[in-house]
Chains A and B, each alone.
Chain A
Amino acid sequence: ELKVEQNPLFLSMQEGKNYTIYCNYSTTSDRLYWYRQDPGKSLESLFVLLSNGAVKQEGRLMASLDTKARLSTLHITAAVHDLSATYFCAGLQGSNYKLTFGKGTLLTVNP
């Protein structure tokens, strides 16, 4: 059964700094997703990663996938306050379509 672990669970950073959130998963996952959640809101899709070596970028966020290491990363470049949110990664098993989430990373960007 697929298990997904994120770290760190809490991240406080200064504006302008770079940091990376890590997402490890336990077994083969057909797709790896990254989501953003603002307080009291639903989840917003950020990235879908399908294959080994996949890299996607949107603004100050870049996600990558290493299927051999069973690791995905979400890299934040030159953080700004608007990026403050909770970020989730999730893996989907193609055999049963089960979508399993990590516990989330609460990111706070301070001025």
Chain B
Amino acid sequence: DGGITQSPKYLFRKEGQNVTLSCEQNLNHDAMYWYRQDPGQGLRLIYYSQIVNDFQKGDIAEGYSVSREKKESFPLTVTSAQKNPTAFYLCASSIDGAGLNTEAFFGQGTRLTVV
């Protein structure tokens, strides 16, 4: 089945440690996104990518990094520079190259906790 897969579902990070969240899609979508959601809050855009080997900062990019080496993959690294990383992280994808697909789908999310 087509969809977006995020892993792991739960992740624990020690102070000063970098961690990488995985996001893979088999929908042939060009665009991919990372959002952060804090409890009771909306979604804030971290990074997004329109196409392979290209990505743009969102509204809260500091302390995060991404890569887009393959169309289907858009991993997010939470670096030690991100002082308050505990949150729910959501990956999404939209728009295929032919412009035929109209929906934006989300993965199941990764809940990151600093210990």
Contacts and interface: CB of A to CB of B under 8 A. Distances in A.
Interface residues of B, number: 24
Given A48-B103, A96-B56, 4 more contacts: A42-B109, A45-B106, A92-B95, A96-B50
Interface of B: 30-31, 33, 35, 41-43, 45, 48, 50, 56, 58, 90, 92, 94-95, 102-109
Given A31-B102, A97-B30, A103 B107 contact: no
Contacts of A88: 42-43
A48 B42 contact: no
CB-CB nearest 9 A-B residue pairs: A103-B42, A97-B31, A43-B106, A101-B43, A97-B50, A42-B106, A42-B109, A104-B42, A48-B102
Interface residues of A, number: 22
Given A42-B109, A43-B90, A97 B48 contact: yes
